[in-house]
Amino acid sequence: MNRLASMKLGNAQRRSPELQLVLSNYSQYLLAHIAQSVACNAAHSIKQRTAKWVVEIIEQSGTEKLAITHEQLAAVLGIGRSYASRVIQGLKADGLLSTARSELRVQNLQALKLKSCHCNDWLQKALRRDISGCDAEGGVGVQLKDAAAEAAAQSSPPVDKDGTERRALRADQH
Ligand SMILES: [Zn+2]
């Protein structure tokens, strides 16, 4: 975010208690995400974390194919390439994944979820809890956008001084 955008956000935040609340809740969620990632790295096996990561990406992308090399996966997980390859071979041997050139393909998503640690489920619950009124479909981005739009509307009154245009706009909305 550049300085001007940051200043505008700061101004909007000062004018809008709703935006303040959304940003505060989002900060809480980010802290929970960081804490959960640290705990996950310490407590769960690399096989569980690999399964978790693949499930997350597959569910977000809506496809069963993931274009990634073993080297890239190793970088994402913070492990060596040969270790990542062994984990992938293990998941292949379990019938959960197959591989092609620079691609992972999920063979059994439900079984892969069972191999996964459930840190993402916990984070989804934290997201719903911390971002008040946030529905699963809209997500944080939608609520941030709505609050920012409301703050911008409050900071930009109509140009006419007697409020005629504002009343007209409101009437049009009904
Ligand atoms: Zn975990």
Q: Ligand 1 center to residue 94 CA distance, Å?
A: 20
Strands (E), 42-129: 65-66, 97-100, 103-106
Q: Ligand 1 center to residue 35 CA distance, Å?
A: 11
Q: Ligand 1 center to residue 41 CA distance, Å?
A: 7
What is the predicted pLDDT for the residue at 146?
Answer: 54
> Helices 81-93 and 46-61, interaxial angle, to 10°?
80
Domains of the chain in start order, with CATH, are 7-144 (1.10.10.10)
What is the predicted pLDDT for the residue at 140?
Answer: 45
Q: Torsion angle, CA of 59/61/62/67, rounded to 10 degrees?
A: -100
What is the predicted pLDDT for the residue at 23?
Answer: 86
Cβ atoms of residues 134 and 127 within 8 Å: yes
Spell out which residues have Cβ within 5 A of ligand 1, the ion. Answer: 40, 44, 117, 119
Q: Full-prediction pTM beyond 0.75?
A: no
61: nearest Cα among 106, 94, 125, 111: 106
Q: What is the pLDDT along the chain (174 residues), one digit of tens a residue?
A: 677 788 888 888 888 888 888 888 888 888 888 888 899 989 999 999 999 999 999 998 999 999 999 999 999 999 999 999 999 999 999 999 999 988 999 999 999 999 999 898 888 887 777 665 554 444 444 444 454 455 445 444 444 444 444 443 444 444
